[in-house]
Structure 1
């Protein structure tokens, strides 16, 4: 009797900067919107409520929501307005150019939660070029240092894409059909808030 294949928790890839920015924006929206709701006069509370109904879901969509989950069976990409589930066998290409993308069954999907930093990529390339030329890597102040990293570097996005490629190759036999689910829990309140805000502003 063969032992079952071990089950591992999904790897989760998210942007720490986006999470921090989202929390700050939500705090700012709560402060300004709450003040307008509590102290505003006339139509101000209604306008504030509509603006919050529109803005809060959008802030969540573009900062807190994006994530990429890599499991043994599939890659699940949670973007601002939809969630794409891709069995590993359907994936044709994973790349990082100016943005991170995955191509499955001929369709391209962006990986919103894995931002590409051209600055970090250039830093890693310069570091690797110095190593290849035999020069010591730069220290904290741009000087050579024995304590500096002596090995090759990769930009965080490039390293993540390489990990995803390895997983895709390892689980290439996991076949299936890609599925897309729209995030109506984000789209519906944002659209309702935008419509209400437009009506309030046009009828002012």
Structure 2
């Protein structure tokens, strides 16, 4: 082995990227604070029936809020795409990913079906705004007297994100370490308290 072989650089590694919805995170945090405040007050000041109802309502409501606002995440690694949706986590080797599209929602397609990307919301309003800018042939006029035609017309955030994911997929799709079958794992930490809360709340209403 020559000295050149010993000092050759390792294959380029790509940093993992994570995508979440800032609006969902903020909204979820506010809903949790409101729910805990109201539920905590009922637990402290209510009678036995009120306390039980508040407890089951929290067991139902908190997991639902967490599932649909704080939990969704898309993580793009060098070899695989991890999709964390409200009630399950899907791990997709890049070799198993056939396409990524965003119509009314962002979706990833495999030979066995498709999965929604809850963490990448599609804003039709934002798309219409970008389309109007493209039709005018220029982006909004920047400040400080810069040329309004400089640079490309911006794209909707969901479309930009899917473009990035497609680039990562293209780099990895033929790599041996990026091959395999999709794996789906249910989130029992979310589902278990949700079911207990729903059943308990139904019993309290019935009696």
> What is the TM-score normalised by the length of structure 2?
0.89
| Range that drifts further, 11-20 or 35-44 | 35-44
d(CA) in 1 for partners of 2:185, 2:139: 47
What is the aligned partner in structure 2 of residue 89 from structure 1?
A: 95
For residues 180 and 67 of structure 2, the distance between their equivalents in structure 1, rounded to whole angstroms, comes to: 27
Q: Corresponding residue for 1:193?
A: 197
Match of 1:19 in 2: 25
Q: CA RMSD in A?
A: 1.7
Q: Name 1:54's counterpart in structure 2.
A: 60
Give the Cα separation in 1 of the matches to 2:130 and 2:149. Answer: 11
Shift of 1:137: 4.2
Distance (Å, rounded) in 2 between the aligned partners of 1:38 and 1:139:
56
Secondary structure of 2:74's match?
strand
Match of 1:43 in 2: 49
Q: How far has the Cα of 1:7 moved from its partner?
A: 3.4
Secondary structure at the aligned position of 1:5 is classed as: coil
> Are 1:78 and 2:79 counterparts?
no
Gaps of 5+ in 1: none
**Unaligned ranges ≥5, structure 2:** none
Distance 1:202 1:125 in 2: 52
Is the alpha carbon distance of 1:147 and 1:46 closer, same or farther for their aligned partners in structure 2, counting shifts above 3 Å?
farther
Q: Distance in 2 between matches of 1:34 and 1:167?
A: 46
C-alpha distance in 1, partners of 2:47/2:149? Answer: 60
How far apart are 1:57 and its partner, in Å? Answer: 0.7
Checking the alignment, whether the CA contact within 8 Å between 2:139 and 2:154 is kept in structure 1 is no
Give the 3 Å change call, closer, same or farther, for CA 129–155 of structure 1 in structure 2: same
Between the two proteins, the alignment pairs up a number of residues equal to 195
1:153, distance to aligned residue in structure 2 (A):
1.2
Instruction: Spell out, residue by residue over 1:103-137, the C-alpha distance to the aligned partner (whole angstroms, 9 max, x if none).
Output: 01231100000000011111111111211xxxx54
Range moving further from structure 2, 164-173 or 71-80: 164-173
Tell me what 1:108 maps to.
Answer: 114
Give, in whole Å, the separation in 2 of the partners of 1:24 and 1:103: 33
**1:170-189 equivalences in 2 (<5 Å):** 170-173=171-174, 174-189=178-193
2-structure distance, mates of 1:127, 1:146: 17
Distance 1:53 1:8 in 2: 40
Whole-Å separation in 2 of the counterparts to 1:25 and 1:62: 11
